[in-house]
Amino acid sequence: MSLDSEDWHVETTHANVLLAMPDAIDQAARLLRRGGLVAFATETVYGLGADASSDAAVARIYEAKGRPRFNPLIIHVANFAQAEKYGIFNADGVKLAHAFWPGPLTLVTERRENAGLSSLATAGLPTVALRMPAHDTAQRLLMAAQRPLAAPSANRSGRVSATTAKHVAADFGASVDLILDSGPCTTGLESTIIGLGDGAPRLMRPGAIPREAIEAICGPLSAAEQSATPQSPGQLRSHYAPRARLRLNIAEADPGEPHLTFGPNGPRGRHALNLSASGNLVEAAANLFAFLRRLDALGPHSIAVMPIPLHGLGEAINDRLRRAAAPRDA
């Protein structure tokens, strides 16, 4: 296998993939209302969606992903009014939603009781993670389905997130009812998750909106405390992991070792992929998961990764790389 061609082979057996045109979106909405699983693009990564008001539909997400049931899902909504139906927003929550919605921000609020959400979707927690996505396909689907959609990233649990329909098909094949293909995701990194409670909002997962932009709206964020039982199981230590072992902060790879590089000084070679030759972190974020999947497909047992700066989107990129490099449980 080589990195020269774009058509590196993935197994996409029997997956039902349709371009996200109006008819396909209507079909997807009908499937969702009947309890089906539909993968769709958001501006961050592809999501694996199900009707968040149905325990049976949500159970299919956990099953398809192989996801532990203590790990709650993000509820996607069409507008702020729908978000308020499920969550109780404090002043910071209103400010942040106003500033960044629709967009790649997830707000964890106190959950409104008996609002009709599947308790499986929220893993029985007193809180709920809410997000109003900006991507046209996601918005049209939410409008057409007329349901809140529980949607984790559309990858097998613990593996690399999916930023194209092909990635989704490779992970799930026919176990998803329909994959809506909208091309590659523009941001390529999951939403930033902010916890709202007493005191300053907490950064629970760095993501597509840099900390600096959020702090400009609501002041300094407090850090999520690291506990053994993760409050945001995206905080599970090993996550976003390719099959190969990742070696971080490696400027020079071993001979023949796949190398994920960054910036104008990134070594070139047959086994190197540069996240952004100009050193642009936005471009690097968009390429991260797709490049990890491509290097992983080369087969060898390790992937070397060059240092990536920590500012802006670099915080979230480094977070994903650290988790991808963490020791595996299994």
Using CB under 6 A, count the residues that bind ligand TXA: 28
Judged by beta carbon distances under 5 to 8 A according to partner kind, the member of ligand TXA, Mg ion, none in contact with residue 129 is ligand TXA
Nearer to Mg ion, 25 or 169 (CB): 169
CB-based contacts of 94: which residues, under 8 Å, 6+ apart? none
- Residue 118 near ligand TXA by CB under 6 A: no
Distance of CA 169 to the CA centre of its chain: 16
Nearest CA to 130 among 67, 209, 196, 213?
Answer: 196
Nearer to ligand TXA, 169 or 304 (CB): 169
Between residue 212 and residue 251, which ones bind ligand TXA under the rule CB under 6 A? Answer: 231-234
- The Cα-based distances of 214 to 9, 210, 231 in angstroms read 39, 7, 20
CA distance 18 to 21: 8
CA distance 106 to 131: 5
- Residue 47 near ligand TXA by CB under 6 A: yes
Nearer to ligand TXA, 191 or 261 (CB): 191
Nearer to Mg ion, 153 or 276 (CB): 153
Judged by beta carbon distances under 5 to 8 A according to partner kind, the member of Mg ion, ligand TXA, none in contact with residue 106 is ligand TXA
Using CB under 5 A, count the residues that bind Mg ion: 1
Judged by beta carbon distances under 5 to 8 A according to partner kind, the member of Mg ion, ligand TXA, none in contact with residue 45 is ligand TXA
CA distance 180 to 144: 14
Nearer to Mg ion, 53 or 153 (CB): 153
What single string gives the DSSP state of each residue in 22-37?
HHHHHHHHHHHHTT--
Return the residue of 20, 132, 142, 151 that touches ligand TXA, per CB under 6 A: 151
Between residue 179 and residue 198, which ones bind ligand TXA under the rule CB under 6 A? Answer: 190-191, 193
Return the residue of 42, 118, 163, 276 that touches ligand TXA, per CB under 6 A: 42
- Residue 125 near ligand TXA by CB under 6 A: yes
Nearest CA to 242 among 312, 326, 124, 319?
Answer: 326
Q: How far apart are the first and last CA of the chain?
A: 27
Residue type, 212: E
- The Cα-based distances of 110 to 52, 90, 225, 265 in angstroms read 17, 9, 18, 47
Candidates 119-127, 166-174, 213-221, 280-288 — which segment interacts with ligand TXA by CB under 6 A? 119-127
Return the residue of 153, 187, 191, 274 that touches Mg ion, per CB under 5 A: 153
- The Cα-based distances of 320 to 11, 203, 206, 238 in angstroms read 25, 15, 9, 9
Q: What are phi and psi of 284, to 5 degrees?
A: -65, -40
Between residue 54 and residue 83, which ones bind ligand TXA under the rule CB under 6 A? Answer: 71-74
CA distance 101 to 114: 25
Judged by beta carbon distances under 5 to 8 A according to partner kind, the member of ligand TXA, Mg ion, none in contact with residue 163 is none
Nearer to Mg ion, 144 or 325 (CB): 325
Closest-approach residue to ligand TXA (CB):
234
Candidates 141-149, 152-160, 162-170, 181-189 — which segment interacts with Mg ion by CB under 5 A? 152-160
Looking at the DSSP assignment, which residues form a beta bridge with residue 246? 303
CB-based contacts of 39: which residues, under 8 Å, 6+ apart? 46, 47, 48, 49, 154, 162, 165, 168, 172, 176, 178, 179, 180
Residues making contact with ligand TXA (CB under 6 A): 42, 44-45, 47, 71-74, 104, 106, 108, 122, 125, 127-129, 131, 151-153, 190-191, 193, 204, 231-234
Residues making contact with Mg ion (CB under 5 A): 153
